[in-house]
Amino acid sequence: MVAKITHGSSLYGTLFYNQKKVDESKGELLFSNKIIQDYPSGGVSLYNAMKSFEPYLIANKRTKKPVVHISLNPDPRDKITKMN
């Protein structure tokens, strides 16, 4: 497993990057917490994801890099299976 941890100031950029990966079937949303979901699909739109983070961004205006992006990627030789 390879982990890549980055810090940034653009929440939109991070969310857009993740959504693009999901849309291209190159990534998968494993878990979310306190994020507004789009019903009935249960998915998360970029707009609703941004709205969900608004209170935290407003409360921490002085933080220069409020975004942490952690990307976990398996080694190409790893066999990934889904758990039930």
pLDDT digits (tens, 9 = 90+) for 29-80: 878 888 888 867 777 889 999 999 999 888 988 988 888 888 888 888 888 7
Report the alpha-carbon distance of residue 42 to residue 52 in Å, rounded: 15
Looking at the domain assignment, is residue 61 inside a domain?
yes
In a domain, 78, yes or no: no
| CA separation for the pair 1, 54 (Å, rounded) | 32
Closest CA to 34 of 54, 58, 4: 54
Cβ-Cβ contacts under 8 Å for 51 (sequence gap 6 or more): 36
In a domain, 69, yes or no: yes
Number of domains comprising the chain: 1
Is 21 inside any structural domain? yes
Please report the pLDDT score of residue 55 as a whole number: 92
Could you tell me the pTM of the whole model?
0.72
- Domain range for 11 is 2-73
pLDDT at residue 52 in the model? 94
- Where are the extended beta strands (E) located within 9-78? 67-73
pLDDT classification of 12: cutoffs 50, 70, 90: very high
CA distances from 4 to 13, 15, 27, 30, 77 (A): 16, 16, 15, 17, 18
